[in-house]
Amino acid sequence: MRTVIHDEIPQSFLKSIGSHIPIIWKINFIGTTSGTPLLSTISKKYDVHLSVLSANISEIQETPFGNLIIEVTGNKNEVDKAYQYIKDEGILVQEVQING
């Protein structure tokens, strides 16, 4: 799948982060979840800011799939609630660890 989907954090972002350790999430969409207005819903529901670092959507055998890599900022409680919301919606999300 890696040859079909670009799912890495852009090098330009990694070079720009300096000493601050960002919260990065990788979100995978499959089928009908790929049309979900996820980011706008989260930003309206929770007090978090979302920056898209990388995004891709493709289709194989008429099934859409894709991924987002986003940076999330906000207080820990709101960030945690937003993360749980994504999981509760049945969308695969994982925090990405950046090794500096």
What's the CA gap between 91 and 45, in Å, rounded?
17
What's the CA gap between 79 and 77, in Å, rounded?
6
Tokens 């660890």 belong to residue: 97
Q: Three-state DSSP class for 25? A: strand
Residue type, 47: D
What does the pLDDT profile of the chain (100 residues) look like in tens digits? 333 444 566 566 555 555 566 899 999 988 766 667 899 999 999 999 999 988 888 888 888 888 889 999 999 999 999 999 999 998 999 998 876 5
Contacts (Cβ under 8 Å, ≥6 apart) of 18: none
Delineate the domains of the chain, giving CATH numbers in brackets: 11-96 (3.30.70.260)
